[in-house]
Amino acid sequence: MTPDRPLRADARRNRERLLAVAEEVFAARGTGASTEEIARQAGVGIGTVFRHFPTKEALLAAVFLGRLERLGERARELSAAAEPGPAFFGFFALVVDQASAKNAFADALEQAGVDVEGVTSGVSGQLGEALGELLHRAQEDGAVRADLGVAELKALLVGASRAVEFAGDPETRARTLAVFLDGLRPTSG
């Protein structure tokens, strides 16, 4: 389908630099940030941005795709390396922490939901699997209530990210997060 001749060295550099800068800028200024701003910060011309990403939407999709991929990796790592309970809650905290710096996961997942050009669906699926494993292991271990699925977990991650972002100071955040964590535990009754 795609002959995909390897990119010239400078092109490859620019592409990577653009992705990195775009991620920062979108995180800092929101997805409304202008492509020109990104080009300037990356030290390239606007033309270069649009050659690599034919559309602003495509650039956004690429950035979110990267986020989802990294998130999936992290979930798999934790799944393999830690006890089910800590792995699960560690991942939850990690996502929420990122979000408190900048609402990464919510945007990313949302974008995946909208699914720009269908690009993200594959990765989104992978992430879903990783989340599923994390969740099910924690449930079998009795660390997390049994009546939740991956869909609920995603919603909760989005909600927690948002809540924690909204809560300004660290103490409010901690107390807010505690509600989520306690709510996730098996019901005592």
Handedness of CA 130, 131, 132, 136 (dihedral sign): positive
Q: Does 136 bind DNA (CB under 7 A)?
A: no
Query: Is the CB of 34 or the CB of 121 nearer to DNA?
Result: 34
121 binds DNA (CB under 7 A): no
Q: Which is nearer to DNA, 36 or 115 (CB)?
A: 36
> 7 or 114, CB closer to DNA?
7
Among 16, 36, 77, 129, indicate the residue that binds DNA (CB under 7 A). Answer: 36
Do the beta carbons of residue 22 and residue 38 sit within 8 Å? yes
73's contact among a second copy, DNA, none, with CB below 5 to 8 A by partner kind, is none
Q: Which residues of 8-46 are buried (b: 16+ CB within 10 A; e: fewer)?
A: eeeeeebbeebbebbbbbbbeeeeebebeebbebbebee
Which CB, 45 or 186, lies closer to a second copy? 186
Q: Which of 20, 24, 35, 141 binds DNA (CB under 7 A)?
A: 35
What is the binding site for a second copy (CB under 8 A)? 106, 109-110, 113, 145, 147-149, 151-152, 154-156, 158-164, 166-168, 172-173, 175-176, 178-184, 187-188
Closest distance between DNA and the C-beta of residue 36, in Å?
5
| Total site size for DNA, rule CB under 7 A | 25
Residue 100: what residue type?
S
User: Does residue 47 belong to the site contacting DNA (CB under 7 A)?
Assistant: yes
**Site residues (vs DNA, CB under 7 A):** 5, 7-11, 14, 32-36, 43-48, 50-52, 54-57
